[in-house]
Amino acid sequence: MLTPYQAFVLTYYIAFLLTPYLAFISRPYPAFILTPYPAFMMAPYYAFILTPYSAFMMAPYYAFILTPYPAFMMTPYYAFILTPYPAFMMAPYYAFILTPYSAFMMAPNYAFILTPYPAFMMAPNYGFILTPYPAFMMAPYYAFILTPYPAFMMAPYYAFILTPYPAFMMAPYYAFILTPYPAFMMAPNYGFILTPYPAFMMAPYYAFILTPYPAFMMAPYYAFILAPLPCLHDGT
């Protein structure tokens, strides 16, 4: 049997493929394709192109557009442009614009505005405010802090911490579930398992580590490794 640390694996209908084989692709419709297809090339400065489906549209309010349009070019300094809309211009110094609403303008000082609500203002110094709570401050190194808990600190190299509030839910269809449930399961069809362990540290080279094992290295071609050890077994 697997230990709690070794049990971090995707379930339901979407699992990340951990190898560079062309056949390894995510399930269609709101799934990430992490295979070595030529189209799936990283834009300069650590930018991801995660899907070839133009239908992969996020519902309004905090949504990502992860399609492969040529307009999806990375701006310098680790900034993503995730939509094909020309209005979606990156603000200077690592700012994201993640929705098709022209009202979604970047606040000064590396801040995101991900909703059309005026109350959703970005805090200074690289901080996201995805809710009307002022406690949502960004940790250094361009990391996301989506909860008011000080323990949710970003690890260096651009790591994500996705909050323990069940209210933090994306609109249906291609959305993230960022709740604190031990099962950390994404809504059926296209989900992540993020688990509640604070040891989730990012591995070098901008690879996600969703478990506390530093051995979790990214597979070639930007593939995620979501298991804690090559040899999953109980005990030593």
Consecutive 10-residue runs of the chain (236 residues): their mean pLDDT?
A: 45 31 25 26 24 24 25 25 27 27 26 28 28 26 27 24 25 25 25 26 25 26 29 40
pLDDT of residue 1: 56
pLDDT of residue 116: 27
What is this structure's pTM?
0.11
DSSP state of 177: B
DSSP state of 91: P
d(CA 14, CA 148): 30
pLDDT of residue 69: 24
DSSP state of 122: P
Buried b (16+ CB within 10 A) or exposed e, 166-196: eebebeebbbbbbbeeeebbbbeebbbbbbe
Question: Residue 145 belongs to what H/E stretch?
Answer: strand 144-145
